[in-house]
Amino acid sequence: MKLYNSLTRRKEIFTPRFGNQVSMYTCGPTVYHFAHIGNLRSYIMEDVLEKALRWEGYDVKRVMNITDVGHLSSDADEGEDKMLKGARREHKTVMEIAKFYTDAFFADCAKLNIKTPDVVEPATNCIEDYIDMVTVLLDKGYAYAAGGNIYFDTSRLDKYYVFNDFAQDDLAVGVRDDVEADDNKRNKADFVLWFTKSKFEDQALKWDSPWGVGYPGWHIECSCISKKHLGEYLDLHCGGIDNMFPHHTNEIAQSEAYLGHKWCNYWFHVHHLNTNDGKMSKSKGEFLTVSLLEEKGYDPLVYRLFCLQSHYRKGLVFTWENLDNAAVTYQKLLTRIAALNPDTGAEPDLEAVKPYQAKFQKSLDNDLNTSMAVTNLYDVLKGKGLTDADKLFLLADFDRVLGLNLLQGAEKVRKSAKTAQSGTGEYRITAPADADPALAEEVNALLLRRYEARKAKDWAESDRIRDELSGRGIVLKDAKDGVNWTKV
């Protein structure tokens, strides 16, 4: 598989250090609020990457942290503590906030078919590991104490800005209008490893350390949690592109200073999702979450498809119109799959499907070209010489990577189509193909009663049913031999 490596800034053939074993690390969420769909774009694409590697036969071990302490609102150690801010907002304790939003995060992931990593580690579980790493960094001369905090000394490194060649002066690290610059830092780019002088009097979570009671800086958790579960060498590190600096840059600085050797070979960064007004999390004042998508009637997997339709290294523009297009595409795709016969009893021809699998692999191997991989689904549907059994086999196989619930979705369409053809031989009731099966059953039953009332010239009952349906947004359109309905 060829992947773009942010560290070398070119596409490279992905080769794990040890045979087919892949150690993969993902920066997890800071659990002080619901994840917005921009964050979730990264998790969807990382999920596809993990599944693609597994599909190709790699043995992947994936680890993710949960930031439940120490992440300040500016990534450069400045501003408010995010967890504390969440706790204040909701009049809860920090641990209650962490628990609630961790659960909410994984509930969103489940709806988006994002597999939970093999190891999920909350940052507050590993305090001893941070203290050990900071102690070693101090011993090796990579860290210093100042003003009660422990800082990483970036001037000790040959190259600190590993992802780009910015001149140090170009980066306003920690210097924003609304935050005070930290005078304790020897160099502008230095960052906190351990705080004991908290600006927050009511900082809820504090631990004993050799340097006084305090709490870890944000970046140290990923270096330590990765080392704890994946050892000294990491094959693949993932995250949103906004984490590249300073977070990932600092992770590399700490880890390699501590280990004394190169740490991670491949860095995978997912680009931003933006709305038309340039914001990542909001559209016209609405905070974009999976729950909001559901409230508006979208299947969360429509959002997954929307993400897959474009490349992870391109910015993606979110609009409701774009999402509507993805919803139509998804529904059409399911309807086409629903037209295949799952009950032929035939076995797939494993020779006939091979060229299609090879093509799909080529899409994945080309820097995870997911839009091409989605197109490969249509190649299968159009596939000449493929039986329905071959097609269904391939669609299920590709869906192990794409995660669009294609066969389950098609089954639902098939069921609602069956319901839609209820009625009698003389009077056919047709529900929309994408109708919720429970609703379709109910509406069709009412329409059949209306038909029978009309046959019996019971106009009052017939009108009552029509009014009830129209009150529920059901629009009727008479057809030659029956009625078609839609829901507005």
Give residues in contact with Zn ion (CB under 5 A): 27, 222
Tell me the closest approach of the beta carbon of residue 197 to Zn ion, in angstroms.
24
Question: Burial level of 165, CB count in 10 A (0-12/13-18/19+)?
Answer: exposed
Give 63 or 404: the residue with its C-beta nearer to Zn ion.
Answer: 63
Give 222 or 374: the residue with its C-beta nearer to Zn ion.
Answer: 222
Give 223 or 275: the residue with its C-beta nearer to Zn ion.
Answer: 223
Tell me the closest approach of the beta carbon of residue 279 to Zn ion, in angstroms.
23
Give 264 or 394: the residue with its C-beta nearer to Zn ion.
Answer: 264
Tell me the closest approach of the beta carbon of residue 83 to Zn ion, in angstroms.
16
Give 50 or 399: the residue with its C-beta nearer to Zn ion.
Answer: 50
Give 222 or 404: the residue with its C-beta nearer to Zn ion.
Answer: 222
Tell me the closest approach of the beta carbon of residue 81 to Zn ion, in angstroms.
17
Tell me the closest approach of the beta carbon of residue 45 to Zn ion, in angstroms.
16
Q: What angle do CA 256, 259, 262 make, to 5 degrees?
A: 50
Give 255 or 363: the residue with its C-beta nearer to Zn ion.
Answer: 255
Residues 35, 388: contact at Cβ < 8 Å?
Answer: no
Tell me the closest approach of the beta carbon of residue 27 to Zn ion, in angstroms.
3
Tell me the closest approach of the beta carbon of residue 223 to Zn ion, in angstroms.
8
